[in-house]
Amino acid sequence: MRLHDLKPRPGAKHRRKRLGQGESSGHGKTSGRGGKGQTARSGSSIRPGFEGGQMPLIRRIPKRGFSNTRHGTRYVPVNLDALNSFDDGARVDEAALRSVGLANGPADGVKILGGGELTKKLTVTAHAFSVSARSKIEAKGGTCELVAVKAAQPRGVKSSKSKPAKA
């Protein structure tokens, strides 16, 4: 096979849509832009969410209530069968999981889930365990150690230093 033998896969190449080439082309007259007005003009763009001066939907909906997702505890899930990559009798903690690439991303802790089968005796240190994961680890002779979850820091709270009074 040589360079001149290469060709794109069937259906990969399309002809460019040629606008304004007469009525019989199917893309003549308004060239697919509809009638007159703001969107028919060249260089026009309307920002997302603009409704022509009408009060936009995002401003019409009531903004009330409370969501607990900001204050919840986020765990990185790790299944049991992933722990088989460690040596028999090893100590597995969050740092070891992150170094191997099994626990990635921002989170408050690691939770061990019972997916798959564990084949080795391990000492697992994590922030949370599912019931099935705990029973499977202990059935192999391993141990489960709980670590306290980091206390959540409220966002946007400023320090309580007093400001000097203005004269």
Q: Which of 5-9, 33-37, 61-65, 113-117 has the highest mean pLDDT?
A: 5-9
Q: Indicate the pTM of the whole model.
A: 0.54
d(CA 81, CA 167): 68
Dihedrals φ, ψ of 133, to 5°?
-65, -45
Could you read off the pLDDT of 49-62 as tens digits, one per residue? 999 899 999 999 99
Mean pLDDT computed over 149-163: 60
CATH of 74-146, one of 3.10.20.30, 3.40.640.10, 3.90.1150.10, 3.100.10.10: 3.100.10.10
Mean pLDDT computed over 35-51: 90
